[in-house]
Chains A and B, each alone.
Chain A
Amino acid sequence: MANISIWTGTSYFFPGDTPFGYYDYDYQFQTDADKVAKFCAQRLGYPLVDIELQSGSFYTAFEQAVTVYGNELYSFQSRDNYLSVEGASTSSFLNQALVNNNLAPVIRQSYTYAEEAGTGGNIDWYSGSIHLTSSVQDYNLGQWAIDNNVTGGIEVKKIFYDRIPAINQLYSPWAGLGPGATSAVGLTGLAGYGPATNFILMPLSYDLTNVNAIEMSNDVRLSNYSFQLINNKLKIFPIPTDEDHGLKLWFNYIKIEDRINSAIVHDGSKVNNLFKMPYTNPVYMQINSIGRSWIFEYTLALAKEMLGYIRGKYSTVPIPGAEVTLNQSDLLSAATAEKEALIARLREYFDSTSRQALLERKQAESTARQSELNQVPMTIYIG
């Protein structure tokens, strides 16, 4: 005849009494475990009524409550800090870390724009060239990619088939030659270099005016080198002549698949989702009285739930000549409501201290303070 012992009124916690043993060697957890067991049993009616739970039941609920508390806390921390931690190493835990805001996610985002603007990013630009053919105006760069074993297609970023940039046609006013000689000197390859023999420092706006004038002149008077690129089909202007035949036309391109591949970093040691945020279970002794109070209440709700399930395994219990219905439904409904209320309270508490909420509150405080200060009479001191 099995005789399973139930709560006797006292308990003595030993490491190993909880299912997972997360906090078993935390001496404050050890101390509180027996107190919590007594608290729960008495809140459930002991010693006026028997409580069909064992000390291990209370320890289990206590361990779970601490873990749930930690989960809620670190889930909140993960949400609040995710952008600052995404991409960080998972090897060092953040439980004790102060995570400051950083610009890493913004910079990462800017890479994609930089790539498109050709000013940075993390996509390689490749160079390619085609040989011009006399009288041939159209060149298929897509076919060029296939012929050169570039898979996934290319996107041409730059065609080096243009007139000399206006700046290269401007010889430095420092050269002492005066603005009239700039175009000729630029063509010799010396554009932009000045020996500083001119001792009149011209304002920069003077150079910019000249450059704009040259550029406008090229557009209007010299409608020479130009091209059109649609769907990697290159049409160049003017039509190459015999003199151009065999010359190389250079261009820059990216591999289209690099745009996606560069955005994906395969590194298992980095934080790439919420569930890789390096948080562990909390250290019980570091939880303050507010947190512990919540844990005690949640332990009670869990114990109540356990007791409800125990008393409710059978809808009725046989007694001599009759049956009785225990209070399982009351226990279960109360436990469910209490658990939900406790979780909601904790989440509300955490959410009210998020970075966003704190900043909003600070802003409101600042506004209120300013408003208050505006009410202060400004007396005029007459000495």
Chain B
Amino acid sequence: MALFGGSRDISLFRKVNRELMGNIISQEVVYYKCDVQETKVNMYGESSGGRVFNPPVLINALVERQDQTAPIENELVGFQWPISFKFLRDDLVDANLVTEIGDFIMWNNGYWEIDNTNANQLFVGKDPNYPYYDDNGNNPLNPGLENFGYNVSIVCTAHYVPADRLNIIKQRL
């Protein structure tokens, strides 16, 4: 039977994380969720009319930035600013937000399109959402496994996108 990483301990972690991210580090991003249903695509799967987004959500994140570069490709000067956004998964759950490839994140007045999402930080190696129940709703080896473990984070890696390529217009400060 599992002993460590119980829900009380996880509650402490959650509080420490929210205090750290919300009150101490206080980095925030604006998350634009792509509305797939509202986005019109042609027969080739292209959204010639541009993508449609749900209303933005302000959320805490740890922003890990790499250096900005300006590579020359096809005799054109580009701009790259690789970045990763690290979210506390519980914050996303509370915001009813699912991170997916193709969503946009605004930070520091720049926009990044998500290339990949990673939910692979499991405390004590367990995700309480997967307690391995049998048909009767029991886990014969570890009853109550849904109360142990913690799926801590979702890490999104993204690439920089110039604002003029988006249908997002800043209307007010």
**Contact code string B133-173 (vs A, CB < 8 Å = 1, else 0):** 00000000000000100101111000000000000000000
A2 in the interface, Cβ–Cβ < 8 Å? yes
- Residues of B contacting A322 with CB < 8 Å? 62, 86
- Do B9 and A314 touch (CB < 8 A)? yes
Known: A318-B123, A320-B17, A321-B121. A4 touches B152 (CB 8 A): no
B72 in the interface, Cβ–Cβ < 8 Å? no
- Do B123 and A310 touch (CB < 8 A)? no
- Do A4 and B8 touch (CB < 8 A)? yes
- Do B155 and A317 touch (CB < 8 A)? no
- Residues of B contacting A317 with CB < 8 Å? 12-13, 16-17
**Contact code string B80-113 (vs A, CB < 8 Å = 1, else 0):** 0000101111100000000000000000000000
- Do B121 and A320 touch (CB < 8 A)? yes
- Do A49 and B19 touch (CB < 8 A)? yes
- Do A4 and B121 touch (CB < 8 A)? no
A265 in the interface, Cβ–Cβ < 8 Å? no
- Do A319 and B11 touch (CB < 8 A)? no
Q: Chain B residue with minimal CB distance to A50? A: B19
Q: Chain A residue with minimal CB distance to B5? A: A314
- Do A319 and B7 touch (CB < 8 A)? no
- Residues of B contacting A52 with CB < 8 Å? 12, 15-16
- Do A321 and B153 touch (CB < 8 A)? yes
- Residues of A contacting B123 with CB < 8 Å? 318
Give which listed residue, A313, A314, A318, A320, contacts B62 with CB less than 8 A. Answer: A320
Give which listed residue, B9, B12, B15, B87, contacts A320 with CB less than 8 A. Answer: B87
B20 in the interface, Cβ–Cβ < 8 Å? yes
- Do A4 and B11 touch (CB < 8 A)? yes
- Do A319 and B17 touch (CB < 8 A)? yes
List residues of B (47-73) whose CB comes within 8 Å of A's CBs: 61-62, 64
Known: A52-B15, A318-B152, A321-B121. A2 touches B62 (CB 8 A): no
CB distance from B167 to the nearest CB of A (A): 29
A3 in the interface, Cβ–Cβ < 8 Å? yes
- Residues of B contacting A136 with CB < 8 Å? none
- Do B16 and A326 touch (CB < 8 A)? yes
Q: Chain B residue with minimal CB distance to A48? A: B23
- Do A319 and B10 touch (CB < 8 A)? no
- Residues of A contacting B155 with CB < 8 Å? 320-321
List residues of B (1-53) whose CB comes within 8 Å of A's CBs: 7-17, 19-21, 23
- Do A1 and B7 touch (CB < 8 A)? yes
Interface centre among A6, A313, A318 (most CB of B within 10 A): A318
- Do B15 and A6 touch (CB < 8 A)? yes
Known: A2-B7, A49-B19, A50-B19. A318 touches B13 (CB 8 A): yes
Q: Chain A residue with minimal CB distance to B20? A: A319
Q: How far is the CA of A313 from the CA of B16 in the complex (A)?
A: 13
Interface residues on B, range: 20 to 34
CB distance from B28 to the nearest CB of A (A): 14
**Contact code string A111-155 (vs B, CB < 8 Å = 1, else 0):** 000000000000000000000000000000000000000000000
**Chain B contact residues: over half helix, strand or loop, or mixed?**
helix
Q: Chain A residue with minimal CB distance to B89? A: A320
- Do A319 and B8 touch (CB < 8 A)? no
- Residues of A contacting B153 with CB < 8 Å? 318-321
A324 in the interface, Cβ–Cβ < 8 Å? yes
CB distance from B125 to the nearest CB of A (A): 12
Known: A313-B9, A320-B17, A321-B121. A2 touches B147 (CB 8 A): yes
- Residues of A contacting B23 with CB < 8 Å? 49
Q: Chain B residue with minimal CB distance to A314? A: B9
Known: A2-B147, A49-B19, A326-B16. A320 touches B11 (CB 8 A): no
Q: How far is the CA of A2 from the CA of B64 in the complex (A)?
A: 30
CB distance from B154 to the nearest CB of A (A): 8
- Do A320 and B19 touch (CB < 8 A)? no
Q: Chain B residue with minimal CB distance to A2? A: B7
Q: How far is the CA of A152 from the CA of B105 in the complex (A)?
A: 98
List residues of A (309-355) whose CB comes within 8 Å of B's CBs: 310, 313-314, 317-322, 324, 326
CB distance from A320 to the nearest CB of B (A): 3
Q: How far is the CA of A178 from the CA of B114 in the complex (A)?
A: 137
Q: Chain A residue with minimal CB distance to B6? A: A2
Q: How far is the CA of A321 from the CA of B152 in the complex (A)?
A: 8
CB distance from B88 to the nearest CB of A (A): 6
List residues of A (291-320) whose CB comes within 8 Å of B's CBs: 310, 313-314, 317-320
Q: How far is the CA of A321 from the CA of B17 in the complex (A)?
A: 12
Which residues of chain A have a CB within 8 Å of any CB of chain B?
1-4, 6, 49-50, 52, 310, 313-314, 317-322, 324, 326
Minimum-distance CB pairs A-B, first 3:
A320-B153, A2-B7, A320-B86
Q: A3-B11, A313-B9 are in contact. List 10 more A-B contacts (CB 8 A).
A: A3-B14, A49-B23, A310-B12, A314-B9, A319-B21, A319-B152, A321-B84, A321-B153, A321-B155, A324-B16
What are 22 A-B residue pairs whose CB atoms fall within 8 Å in the complex? A2-B7, A2-B10, A52-B16, A313-B9, A317-B13, A318-B13, A318-B121, A318-B150, A318-B152, A319-B16, A319-B88, A320-B17, A320-B21, A320-B61, A320-B62, A320-B87, A320-B153, A321-B64, A321-B84, A321-B86, A321-B153, A324-B20
